[in-house]
């Protein structure tokens, strides 16, 4: 999208008359109507205001980019407007806005507004462009500034792409060492890309050529080719979920948690350069020999296997949980439990919930013993949710059945690990079978023996044991007094801030999610979800508050990250605080833990429940005590932010 085609001279406003945010929007929308860009002033304005309600389009640095795409827009356009005196536009940095770019895109307009936003953002990142626009006093000058800036940016992008291609070619003949890496985390939101960035920076510092494949929320990016892997000196795996490993057979390889690449990427690269790791040898299940430092031994291996299951389970938890919660709102306010909307939403949510535990178990097993373990793990997880134990009762396979003695979430965890390690043993046991019957392993032996053994174990051992444990846990939660509720919620919320996406954080979330999965209609389970939600929202909010109130104690880069953390905190993305915690763990982590614990205590004291497993403030309307929910996050964030701001040392020459 060439922004120059949309930025038309005849629709610019060189000196806005309005002196308020509402006035600016009214003036610019009316100008669009007068110029024939839109044919329904009220409809377009309504969508502009709806976008502003989500969060202000005042981007900071004196710039605001209000935008909407709807049926009122006759042709795409970007209106430039300037206010010499400045307008309070609720900008993210709290400063007046002087430059306004209102984007109008027709409904179904091929994401014109998003493309225009991206193009504008690239150009407006240059302070020289912003300064020139503030000084421009005619539409011709504005167009000339943008024409030059866009042309320059396009040339830079082309040069960068060319340089990257040349770098890939030069790496073959270069004297510099060349390594490849893979980064991945369960959610694929922040850790994946922070690890990628830190590995690249460390490689540049060490004089190493590197290519990093990311397994993030957008899928696999920068996928490593066979040729790249072949010529690499070694492989760095920084992942908390399973990645494809068979392609690295015969390469020096180190495999650690994704946080290792964030905290100390140089150590990972040096371990390859200094021959401190062993050679990876793939087997039928893509496992490695004992001499390789894969990070899969002991608790680190169990954690990674668990996270592989959790990462695949989360979409079922989030999608199913939120649809079920919305169905309850429909039930209360739009027709009761007989309405078509309630029945449809509730059934859709329940169906997703029915697959959560089987998927969890399947991918725990698959992370241990690869594809042969997937089916036994899934079947074991399914039995944990719908089957009774060995003694008494009928055994049905209906996903809507309320099984009286199922193993539940904990039983599903057990099913995943049991199926995985049993199948790993079975694969080793079958390794010496004659070649003439080797083809029978995957088609007959693995599925039949695997299913039979896991079914027997679930039927006679796991379900009877874990059904009893589930009953005890349910009774414990249902009979919690206010004092005990406060303590439990305080602990869970505090754990969310200890490592911000690491083992403590995931343990707290899995505990709450497990209670929620076992009984989605329980207010106690919803209260635990609220506790982990507020606990995860406090750290990014706290860093945003601290960077705003104590600017002299943070670098310019940290202050910019602090602005972003308002949005990340709003959305329950704790990882936004990780760069701060990495740079100054002694101050950031204790402050965040204290604030999160305070927020969790408020949740327990006010009996706040959120019957949705993710979403942050986006799912606030579902909370049983919405004002208590807001209060918990606000108070906890202020406590953590103030402690951090007062405690942290001043940064010398912070600019």
Which positions are catalytic? 67, 185
CA separation for the pair 245, 522 (Å, rounded): 41
Q: Both tokens of residue 107?
A: 């409904």
DSSP output for 481-495: -HHHHHHHHHHHHHH
| Residue 614 DSSP label | S
Single out the residue of 254, 244, 261 nearest to residue 280, CA to CA.
254
Q: Both tokens of residue 3?
A: 């922004």
Q: Which residue has the tokens 């036994």?
A: 376
Q: Which residues are CB-neighbours of 615 under 8 A, at least 6 positions away?
A: 318, 322, 533, 571, 572
CA separation for the pair 493, 133 (Å, rounded): 46
CA separation for the pair 314, 65 (Å, rounded): 34
Report whether 356 contacts 381 (CB < 8 A).
no
Q: Which residue has the tokens 């994401």?
A: 111
Q: Which residue has the tokens 């918990």?
A: 632
CA separation for the pair 636, 643 (Å, rounded): 11
Which residues are bridge partners to 216 per DSSP? 219
Alpha-carbon distances of 79 from 32, 82, 117, 128, 503, rounded to whole Å: 8, 10, 12, 20, 48
Report whether 362 contacts 374 (CB < 8 A).
yes
Q: Both tokens of residue 475?
A: 């009774």
Report whether 458 contacts 387 (CB < 8 A).
yes
CA separation for the pair 618, 53 (Å, rounded): 12
CA separation for the pair 607, 526 (Å, rounded): 9
| Residue 407 DSSP label | -
Report whether 368 contacts 308 (CB < 8 A).
no
Look at residue 254 and give its three-state secondary structure. Answer: strand
Q: Which residue has the tokens 């010496």?
A: 432
């Amino acid at each position: 999208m060439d922004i120059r085609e949309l930025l038309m001279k005849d629709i610019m406003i060189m000196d806005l008359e309005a002196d308020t945010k509402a006035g600016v929007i009214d003036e610019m929308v009316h100008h669009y109507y007068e110029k024939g860009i839109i044919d329904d002033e009220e409809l377009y304005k309504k969508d502009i205001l709806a976008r502003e309600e989500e969060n202000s389009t005042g981007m900071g640095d004196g710039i605001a980019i209000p935008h909407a795409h709807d049926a009122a827009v006759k042709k795409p356009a970007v209106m430039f407007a300037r206010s010499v005196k400045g307008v309070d536009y609720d900008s993210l940095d709290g400063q007046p806005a002087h430059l306004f770019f209102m984007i109008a895109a027709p409904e179904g307009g091929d994401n014109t507004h998003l493309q225009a936003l991206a193009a504008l953002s690239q150009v407006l990142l240059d302070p020289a462009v912003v300064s020139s626009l503030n000084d421009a006093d005619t539409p011709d000058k504005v167009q000339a500034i943008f024409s030059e800036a866009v042309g320059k940016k396009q040339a830079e992008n082309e040069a960068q792409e060319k340089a990257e291609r040349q770098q890939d070619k030069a790496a073959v003949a270069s004297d510099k060492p060349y390594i490849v890496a893979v980064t991945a985390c369960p959610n694929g939101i922040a850790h994946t890309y922070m690890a990628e960035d830190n590995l690249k920076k460390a490689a540049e510092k060490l004089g190493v050529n590197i290519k990093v494949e990311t397994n993030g929320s957008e899928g696999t990016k920068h996928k490593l080719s066979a040729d790249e892997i072949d010529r690499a000196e070694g492989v760095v795996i920084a992942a908390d979920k399973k990645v494809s490993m068979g392609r690295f057979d015969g390469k020096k390889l180190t495999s650690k948690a994704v946080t290792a690449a964030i905290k100390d990427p140089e150590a990972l690269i040096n371990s390859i350069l200094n021959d401190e790791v062993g050679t990876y040898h793939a087997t039928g299940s893509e496992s490695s020999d004992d001499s390789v430092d894969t990070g899969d031994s002991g608790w680190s291996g169990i954690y990674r296997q668990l996270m592989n299951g959790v990462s695949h389970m989360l979409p079922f938890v989030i999608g199913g949980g939120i649809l079920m919660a919305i169905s309850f709102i429909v039930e209360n306010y739009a027709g009761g439990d007989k309405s078509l909307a309630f029945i449809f939403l509730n059934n859709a949510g329940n169906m997703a919930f029915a697959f959560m535990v089987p998927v969890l178990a399947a991918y725990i097993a698959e992370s241990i013993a690869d594809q042969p373990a997937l089916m036994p793990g899934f079947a074991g997880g399914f039995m944990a949710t719908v089957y009774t134990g060995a003694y008494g009762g009928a055994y049905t396979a209906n996903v809507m059945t309320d099984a009286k003695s199922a193993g539940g979430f904990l039983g599903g965890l057990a099913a995943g690990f049991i199926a995985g390690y049993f199948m790993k043993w079975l694969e080793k046991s079958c390794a010496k079978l004659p070649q003439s019957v080797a083809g029978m392993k995957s088609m007959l032996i693995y599925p039949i023996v695997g299913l039979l053994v896991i079914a027997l174990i679930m039927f006679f051992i796991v379900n009877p044991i874990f059904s009893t444990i589930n009953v005890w846990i349910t009774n414990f939660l249902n009979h919690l007094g206010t004092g005990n509720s406060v303590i439990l919620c305080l602990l869970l919320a505090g754990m969310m801030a200890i490592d911000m996406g690491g083992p403590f954080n995931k343990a707290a979330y899995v505990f709450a999610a497990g209670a929620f999965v076992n009984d989605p209609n329980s207010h106690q389970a919803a209260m635990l979800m609220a506790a982990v939600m507020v606990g995860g929202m406090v750290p990014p909010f706290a860093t945003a508050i601290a960077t705003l109130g104590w600017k002299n104690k943070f670098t310019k880069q940290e202050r910019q990250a602090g602005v972003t953390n308002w949005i990340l905190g709003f959305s329950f993305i704790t990882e936004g605080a990780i760069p701060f915690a990495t740079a100054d763990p002694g101050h950031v982590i204790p402050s965040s833990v204290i604030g999160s614990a305070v927020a969790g205590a408020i949740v327990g004291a006010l009996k706040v429940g959120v019957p949705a497993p993710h979403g942050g403030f986006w799912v606030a309307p579902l909370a049983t005590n919405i004002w208590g929910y807001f209060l918990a996050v606000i108070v906890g964030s202020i406590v953590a932010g103030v402690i951090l701001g007062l405690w942290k040392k001043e940064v010398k020459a912070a600019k």
